Amino acid sequence: MTAFDADLSGFVTHKPGEADRLELLVRGARCAACMARIEKAAAAVRGVEQARLNLSTGKLSVTFRAGKADPARVVHAVEAAGYTTTLFDPESAIQTRDAEGRRLTLALGVAGFGAGNVMMFSVPVWAGLFGQELTPSARALMYWASAIIATPCALHAGMVFFQSAWNSLRRGRANMDVPISIGVILTLIVSFSETIQGGRHAYFDAAVTLLFLLLIGRWLDHKLRARALNAARDLLALQAPIARRLDADGTEHGVPVAKVAVGELVSVTPGERVPLDGQVTEGFSSLDNALITGETAPLPVEPGSIVHAGALNMDGRLLVRVQARAEDSALAAIARLMEAGAQTKSAYVRLADRAASIYVPVVHSLALATFVGGWVLGLGPREALLRAAAVLIITCPCALGLAVPAVQIAASARLFRKGVLVKSGAALERLAEVDTVVLDKTGVLTQGRPDLIDPPTAMLAPAAQLARASRHPLALALVRKAGPGPVCVDAREVAGLGVMGLVDGRPARLGRAAFLDLNNVDASESELWFGFEGETSVRFQFADRLRHDATATVTALRKRGLSVEILSGDVERAVARAAEGAGISKWRAHLAPIEKSKAIDDLKADGCKVLMVGDGLNDAAALSRAHASIAPGAAIDASQNAADLVFEGDGLMAIVQAIDISRAARARALENFGFSALYNVVAAPMAIFGLVNPFFAAIAMSGSSLVVTLNALRMHWAGRN
Amino acid sequence: MNIIFVLAPASLVLALVGLGAFWWSVKDGQYDDPAGDAARILNDEPDDGPLP
């Protein structure tokens, strides 16, 4: 968002008895110095009581002294310090506190406390198992002490699993938490009955240690998702922002887009995005539709033109009469497609759940068979139940519970160091499965910005003097090529046409062909003309160039057995050129956003698992419908939000690295499952034949978890070399 | 051997104090911004503490 001069009081939350409060998302803060600078800048604004930045989430909370709230000044101050900001819609800001994370941290702490302290009483019992002197009454004392510590801890820490198991059972499915919950509860009941009857086999320590190990896995998984959630929240930057509504008295008010009614007037200054669909009533400008349609050429608009929400206004102030409410706009139609895509993605069954669907019935029938079989064969109900419980606890799912999260956190940390942000563990799993890669052209294969090609060198320096007076993307490209230098005198920009001014004392013009009265040339949108008054004009041509490693990336993807194609919204000529440059033979051009997502659906119907790489708003729907998706860090927020992974930097090779690492992660996870299965094949018979004692259970459980974690760490070490 | 009846509860009480402190620190939001807290210690100015 650009600095805003209109009234923004609609974004301040008022709660009786509390200070007025404003929440901003600040981007670009990385270190202690940034944090201090931002907080100081915000706190220096008149009326601000306190400003505090959360560096982990990028959220700046500002409280105001009573009746002094002036949010626009705070936005100004922070942006003047050099950071971009986004206002939170007050309603959505409430949900940003990470309640789930706090609950898991607390449960982890409680389980850790229980597991550690119960050992104090478990070690004497184990010593008793190995012939050390331990009278039955002393053992009963140890067990009672264990019960007093372990039971409340297990019930508190286990609540996370009990609730999830209950929810899953109510929907008629059994997830991993069902055997965990049954195992923990049954173990506690059996242990109490053993303790009361003076028996030798109580497993209080096992129950709470199991929960501790499982919670580590759960906590890691949550951490991974929480980091991604922060990235996803940036969608608000596109959807909740502000429209400058022009009221009847001629004053501008910044209001949430949702509050603008059809027929009202909004103004759009250069550098802002059009907030809502509508018709231009006043002003001339050109619009950058690259992120909406994928077209690279700017589109000139004048009174009467129809404009779509999301287009970037480049050079003139426009007044737009709103024709559709926010939820009816073209943008909202794309958002609905994205929502539908997200639903199909949530139906994806994760590796761990697939493992659970095999594990749960096998282990439960085994435990039941042990109980029934043991009773029938004359063990008596007490011993039979004890062995059944031993089966449940020894075939412990903690290796399974850790197998995937430990690998995925190591994989995502490795990708993070390479500048790739992974939004969820499921995303990594889906990415490992893809067989087709669909690339967008503008902004993915190409840089997404025009570059000057083969300039007439003699005229570059004088033309750049005019170009420096404009913010038009073609002018910026010209300046980039020319480097630093003087600005012309008496510069005047005519919106949508060009710039005129005095260069070295002579009047000159830079702009469209029509601006220089050249009517008989073959004019195109991706060129500028420059000429001194009365002299012949020269042409500067611009093109959107391929990224430097586009061709290498396509080759590398092919080498991994992936088929590559392009789906673009740009005109045929431009797409054909890019496809040829990158060495891709399958491409389609001129696709509307809906057609793009339709094309993805068709590929899916053919049995392909598609990886979509896209950056524009026109890709957002396709990104959310594809099996897996990646967006560059320069992409529009909606696309970053829809994508599973986001990569930084100029190169496309990150896509190849992400695929490699996700495949390695999948291999590690499968190895871990293999190990868990092997361990259970050995351990389960021991439990069935009554060979397990509390000491063995404790060693086996932590040992298997340790092996699984070490295997996951190979992922981490591999990245170091 | 009777000393165990004093020492075991005593160590438990100590551990419970630790657990209570941990509980308070989670509820107090001290784990909400690990990156920020790590950076904040480098600032010279006194800190007002988190907003409610």
Residue pLDDT, tens place only, A47-93:
888 888 888 777 888 888 877 778 888 888 888 888 878 776 655 54
Nearest to A106, CA basis, from A189, A222, A233, A232: A222
Q: At CA A309, angle to CA A304 and CA A310, rounded to 5? A: 125
pLDDT of residue A94: 44
CB contact under 8 A, B31 and A52: no
pLDDT of residue A240: 45
pLDDT of residue A605: 92
Rounded average pLDDT over A606-628: 87
Catalytic amino acids of A?
A: 440
Q: How far is A254 from chain B (nearest CA, A)?
A: 27
Rounded average pLDDT over A686-708: 82
In chain A, CATH 3.30.70.100 sits at 1-97
Name which residue leads in pLDDT, A133 or A186. A186
pLDDT level of residue A228 (50, 70, 90 thresholds): low
Go through A300-338 and write b for each residue having 16 or more CB atoms within 10 A of its CB, e for each that does not: bbeeebebbbbbbbbbbebbbbbebbbeebbbbebbebb
- Does residue A552 register a pLDDT over 50? yes
- Backbone dihedral region of A412: left (phi > 0), alpha (psi from -120 to 50 degrees) or beta? alpha
**Residues of B with Cβ-Cβ distance to A133 under 8 angstroms:** none
> SS3 of A623, please?
helix
Name which residue leads in pLDDT, A102 or A638. A102
- Does residue A547 register a pLDDT over 80? yes
Rounded average pLDDT over A41-47: 88
- Does residue A6 register a pLDDT over 70? no
pLDDT of residue A91: 54
Nearest to A290, CA basis, from A268, A313, A318: A313
In chain A, CATH 3.40.50.1000 sits at 420-435+548-648
A81-90, A401-410, A415-424, A577-586: range with lowest mean pLDDT? A81-90
pLDDT of residue A220: 81
pLDDT level of residue A345 (50, 70, 90 thresholds): low
pLDDT level of residue A657 (50, 70, 90 thresholds): very high
Question: Which CATH number is associated with domain A240-335?
Answer: 2.70.150.10
Rounded average pLDDT over A394-423: 80
pLDDT level of residue A431 (50, 70, 90 thresholds): very high
Structure-block tokens of residue A611? 């990886």
**Share of residues in chain A with pLDDT > 90 (%):** 16
> CB neighbours (10 Å) of residue B48?
12
A44-53, A341-350, A453-462: range with lowest mean pLDDT? A341-350
CB contact under 8 A, B15 and A121: no
pLDDT of residue A600: 92
Does any CB of chain B come closer than 8 Å to the CB of residue A109?
Answer: yes
Whether domain A1-97 has CATH 3.30.70.100: yes
Q: At CA A690, angle to CA A686 and CA A691, rounded to 5? A: 55
pLDDT tens-digit map of A466-515:
888 887 778 888 888 888 888 888 888 776 678 888 888 888 988 888 78
**Rounded to the nearest 10 degrees, how much is the dihedral formed by the CA atoms of A304, A305, A306, A308?**
-130
> SS3 of A299, please?
strand
**E-strand spans in A454-553?**
489-494, 498-503, 506-511, 527-532, 538-546
Laid out side by side, the sheet with A318-322 consists of: A252-256, A242-246, A265-268, A318-322, A278-282, A306-307
pLDDT of residue B29: 82
Tell me what the pLDDT averaged over chain A comes to: 82
In chain A, CATH 2.70.150.10 sits at 240-335
Superfamily covering domain A420-435+548-648: HAD superfamily/HAD-like (3.40.50.1000)
Q: Which CATH class is domain A449-544?
A: alpha beta
Element (H, E) at A288: strand A285-288
In chain A, CATH 3.40.1110.10 sits at 449-544
pLDDT of residue A3: 40
Name which residue leads in pLDDT, A655 or A248. A655
- Does residue A157 register a pLDDT over 90? yes
pLDDT of residue A637: 65
Nearest to A498, CA basis, from A298, A322, A703: A298
> CB neighbours (10 Å) of residue A602?
11
**CA A88 to CA A234: how far, in whole Å?**
10
A188-197, A472-481, A601-610: range with lowest mean pLDDT? A472-481
pLDDT level of residue A1 (50, 70, 90 thresholds): very low
Rounded average pLDDT over A558-577: 89
Rounded average pLDDT over A258-262: 80
**Rounded to the nearest 10 degrees, how much is the dihedral formed by the CA atoms of A191, A196, A197, A199?**
40
pLDDT of residue A270: 77
**Share of residues in chain A with pLDDT > 70 (%):** 88
Does any CB of chain B come closer than 8 Å to the CB of residue A94?
Answer: no
Chosen from B43, B44, B45, B47 to mutate, greatest number of chain A CBs within 10 A: B43
Rounded average pLDDT over A382-405: 79
Give me the residue label for tokens 């107090």: B28
- Does residue A290 register a pLDDT over 90? no
**CA B40 to CA A610: how far, in whole Å?**
44
Q: HSE (CB half, 13 Å, CA atoms) of A523?
A: 14
pLDDT of residue A76: 86
Rounded average pLDDT over A234-245: 58
Tell me what the pLDDT averaged over chain B comes to: 83
| Nearest neighbour of B31 by CB, restricted to A21, A50, A105 | A105
Q: At CA A206, angle to CA A204 and CA A212, rounded to 5? A: 110
Does any CB of chain B come closer than 8 Å to the CB of residue A104?
Answer: no
pLDDT of residue A422: 83
Answer whether A653's CB lies under 8 Å from A556's CB: yes
Rounded average pLDDT over A428-433: 91
Rounded average pLDDT over A311-337: 75
Structure-block tokens of residue A271? 């550098």
Q: How far is A435 from chain B (nearest CA, A)?
A: 38
DSSP sequence for A59-123: EEEEEE-TT---HHHHHHHHHHTT-EEEEPPHHHHGGGS-HHHHHHHHHHHHHHHHHHHHHHHHH
CB contact under 8 A, B45 and A120: no
- Does residue A638 register a pLDDT over 70? no
ipTM score assigned to the predicted complex: 0.85
Go through A202-236 and write b for each residue having 16 or more CB atoms within 10 A of its CB, e for each that does not: bbbbbbbbbbbbbbbbbbbbbbbbebbbbbbbbbb
Does any CB of chain B come closer than 8 Å to the CB of residue A63?
Answer: yes
| Nearest neighbour of A120 by CB, restricted to B8, B22, B32 | B8
CB contact under 8 A, A32 and B43: yes
Name which residue leads in pLDDT, A111 or A594. A111
A67-76, A152-161, A561-570, A678-687: range with lowest mean pLDDT? A67-76
Rounded average pLDDT over A274-287: 86
pLDDT of residue A227: 62
Rounded average pLDDT over A269-298: 78
Rounded average pLDDT over A312-328: 80
CB contact under 8 A, A101 and B11: no
Q: How far is B30 from chain A (nearest CA, A)?
A: 10
pLDDT level of residue A235 (50, 70, 90 thresholds): very low
